[in-house]
Structure 1
Amino acid sequence: MCRGLASLPTSCLERAKEFKTRLGILLHKPDLGYKIGSLSRSTKQRYALEEVLGWKESFDRLLRSKSGLAAFHGFLKTEFSEENLEFWLACEEYKKTHSKAKLAAKANRIFEDFVQNEAPKEVNLDHETREATRRNLTIANSACFEEAQAKTHTLMEKDSYPRFLKSAYYRDLTEQATSHRTGKPTHT
């Protein structure tokens, strides 16, 4: 027999809300033009050794490389931490929007998806940055996510990127690229 939500204990409501949030994350499909799915590559993807090694030179070089983005996104997915990269990419796509009418709608969607408290793919931002971004939405322009995007970039550069470079994931990509170059099979 179903009971009304008001009659459920608070802990049940909290668990239900948490379940809904987690389910939302699993079912979330971006529709702002930033196609994260297009970053995903087959595990059989072959990268050039120079390209893979080039990703170590700088985080920005990795971000400028389409295949570097795909590899980094794949790594982040293994850690269940891809939201920062997805937010950064959404901001990059948002900056390319020229229509004032579309700016406001896209800004609100990005905010709802990544910035607001308990967003489906909430990024880790301090309260001040979150509130400044909320205020920026009132005059949605191409720079309204600038501060939040910069903080997310710094967080990835200082945290996720070094982990990526030290990971077995990156090491495997390097080994595959090396063996592809030399024609020797990889040991997996």
Structure 2
Amino acid sequence: MCRTLATFPTTCLERAKEFKTRLGIFLHKSELGSDSGSFGKFEWGSKHSKDNRSFSEDVLGWRESFDTLLSSKNGVAAFHAFLKTEFSEENLEFWLACEEFKKIRSAAKLASRAHRIFDEFIRSEAPKEVNIDHETRELTRANLQAATAACFDAAQGKTHTLMEKDSYPRFLKSPAYQHLVAQASAAASSASSCSPAEPSHT
């Protein structure tokens, strides 16, 4: 247990623990989707939440901007579950695949992975075909002739914009996220009220 938590009254620690437990249950039974496994990657590990305040701020931070949501492992998991209810999870999965693709340093692996991503998300009738225009699709196809880390940039940008302007606002308004916000706000207030008093120097 970190020192900050060690100084909290036991009742406050119990409230923090209860929030995390309720959040986990909610994520598996949420109206975000019937597939309980969709939240499998949504975990409140110690490296993500050292105390009640940090993990509640993570949830509340998702509404600041779409990029803030994407920068949160938990946020991505929750957003992915929401997209599954709209049958549009392929957009996020493609965006994430592109992010991983950019980290590849081997030219051979880059070319191989580029073709797999194209076949899975870009080509017509692909199993997880993303919603992009014909021009962008053909540009991406041409880029595969000499695959580089940037060959999916145009298509990735299109899906990012689509999610940011379309799916993201609906996610923020969804009952499931609003429920999370309510719980996170309560947890933040609890952490604030339970903060140990400053030691007296008199």
Following superposition, the deviation at residue 86 of structure 1 comes to 0.3
- Give the alignment of 1:122-161 within 5 angstroms: 122-161=129-168
Separation in structure 1 between the aligned mates of residue 83 and residue 65 of structure 2, nearest angstrom: 17
Runs (4 or more) in structure 1 with deviation over 6 Å come to none
- Give the alignment of 1:8-157 within 5 angstroms: 40-41=41-42, 48-157=55-164
Q: TM-score, normalised by structure 2?
A: 0.67
Separation in structure 2 between the aligned mates of residue 101 and residue 39 of structure 1, nearest angstrom: 32
**1:29-65 residue CA offsets vs partner (Å, 9 max, x unmatched):** xxxxxxxx786337xxx98222212111111111111
Distance 1:165 1:38, change over 3 A: closer
Q: Do the aligned residues in 2 keep the contact of 1:39 with 1:73 (CA within 8 Å)?
A: no
Aligned length: 146
Q: Do the aligned residues in 2 keep the contact of 1:41 with 1:70 (CA within 8 Å)?
A: yes
SS at match of 1:48: helix
Q: Do the aligned residues in 2 keep the contact of 1:87 with 1:114 (CA within 8 Å)?
A: yes
Separation in structure 2 between the aligned mates of residue 173 and residue 84 of structure 1, nearest angstrom: 23
Question: Which runs of 5 or more residues in structure 2 are unaligned?
Answer: 1-37, 44-51, 191-202
**1:51-82 residue CA offsets vs partner (Å, 9 max, x unmatched):** 21211111111111111111111111122211
Question: Could you tell me the percent identity over the aligned residues?
Answer: 65
Q: Do the aligned residues in 1 keep the contact of 2:42 with 2:77 (CA within 8 Å)?
A: yes
Separation in structure 1 between the aligned mates of residue 57 and residue 42 of structure 2, nearest angstrom: 19
Corresponding position of 2:20 = none
Return 137-146 or 64-73, whichever deviates more: 64-73
Separation in structure 2 between the aligned mates of residue 180 and residue 53 of structure 1, nearest angstrom: 11
Separation in structure 1 between the aligned mates of residue 65 and residue 107 of structure 2, nearest angstrom: 34
Larger relative contact order (Cα-Cα within 8 Å, sequence gap ≥ 6): 2
Following superposition, the deviation at residue 181 of structure 1 comes to 4.2
Q: Do the aligned residues in 2 keep the contact of 1:73 with 1:85 (CA within 8 Å)?
A: yes
Following superposition, the deviation at residue 182 of structure 1 comes to 5.2
Return 88-97 or 166-175, whichever deviates more: 166-175
Q: TM-score, normalised by structure 1?
A: 0.71
Question: Which runs of 5 or more residues in structure 1 are unaligned?
Answer: 1-36, 184-188
